[in-house]
Amino acid sequence: MNIVLIGLNHKTAPVEVREKFSFPEALLGNYLTQMLASPLVTEGLILSTCNRVEICATTDNIPECFDYLSQFLYENQKQGPSIPFKQFVQYLYYYSSVDAVSHLFRVSSSLDSMVVGEPQISGQLKEAFDYAMINKSTGVILNKLFKKAISVAKRIRSQTKISENAVSVSYAAVGLAKKIFGDLTGKTVLLVGAGEMSELAARHLINNGVKNVMVTNRNFQRAVELAREFNGTSIKFDDLEAEFPEADIVICSTGAPYYLIHCEMVESAIASRKNRPIFLVDISVPRNIDPKINALENVFLYNIDDLQSVIEANLKERQKEAEKAELIVSEEVETMDRWLKSLNVVPTIIAIREKVEAIRKLEVEKTIAKWRTEISEEQKEAIENLSVNIINKILHFPLSALKAEAHQSHGPQVIQTTRKIFNLEEEKKASSDPGADREPSDGSLSGLRDSTKNQ
């Protein structure tokens, strides 16, 4: 059984293509059922986010399964102008076996994300796995794979600093505020302007302990609405100077083409605050805060370019942490690969045991039949136990060696040779003959599959 993965993402396809192939959450169950209707797919899962659509599946036939999943994805694109299939497949990437495992672990730990270290993808992958579990579209292999992918993401977050440095303007503002004040608990933030970026920064500040939010805007009704969202206070724009000293943090983002906050206003505020520091963030372009105030004592002013510099420095730090994360991924891929290879040898081990057990049972029955009533039930049981112990001791070493060799690069050849030695291939063919009324001797993998899938 092989793992395959196909998909398209922000690196391989533009947004106008990606948006056509996203899967609505409410219909995900239907899509999974449709996908698993093919005999080529034994287990399947769909991950659909704004930046990627990926299908992970298990199959016995990698090339045909790739063709089928490509066609499945293409046929389920959203209505609208379609793109030719030949053009569509150029946006796709294909992974199988250990490469698919490696790709998935990199996705789960955000190493393949647009912003390395962003935490959302781990939650999105877990949600996709939950949907697959609810719809019983996964079995032993994908359950193991996705649980491992989630644990790899957790390990990387706990053992590296890949998510610690802010890489967005709003998060960068929070990081700088923490450096200035240490603890943000109980601090007051003043939003000058009610734009989306100010709102986002305010939310991050509240999540980090800021208690009071004041909002002022030329459109006072908008200030009232935004203040209500934060249980804050709306201030009329004409009262900005009077309320200014109450703010520890000021985030300014308006469309005004001139300075709204001048040196005199900040100087007066610092005096009223008895020199307690003020942190100002000017996101506006053109700037709305006079840059000269940065020369004042206990005043810390950052504009959009300053924040961008912080973000770029933090991105470099994340890249260093990403290199550590890649090593963890390689280590975990190796562990997963060993487990997958152990599955390959299971059918052979079961077939050997079944064959040897059949021989043992037949020989014991023939022996006991010769003696008929001359031996007691206790003696029959002793012969039975003796034969079982002999078989177990004979098989112990070769089967252990077979398991160990299956993990090596030449594992498939060892398994094939073993099957020839025990004549298992001939018996497999015989069991597959039309009319054969018995279970195949190497059906252990189907036994490993989640029995609930077909219910």
Annotated active-site positions, please?
50
The conformation of residue 245, written as its DSSP 8-state character, comes to G
Q: What is the CA radius of gyration of the chain?
A: 33
Distance CA 20, CA 17 (A): 5
- Non-local CB neighbours of 251 within 8 Å, separated by 6+ positions: 173, 189, 190, 191, 192, 198, 201, 202, 280, 281, 283
In three-state secondary structure terms, 78 is coil
Q: How far is CA 91 from the centre of its chain?
A: 21
Beta strands, E only, 276-340: 278-282, 299-303
List the one residue out of 88, 96, 89 whose CA is nearest residue 63.
96
251, β-bridge pairs: 191, 281
Distance CA 111, CA 410 (A): 31
> Residue written as tokens 């053992």?
159
- Non-local CB neighbours of 201 within 8 Å, separated by 6+ positions: 169, 170, 173, 174, 251, 281, 283
User: What are the phi and psi torsion angles at 50 (to 5°)?
Assistant: -70, -20
Distance CA 280, CA 409 (A): 60
User: What are the phi and psi torsion angles at 109 (to 5°)?
Assistant: -95, 15
**Contact predicate 79/24, CB 8 Å:** no
The CB density around residue 197, as the number of other CB atoms within 10 Å, is 18
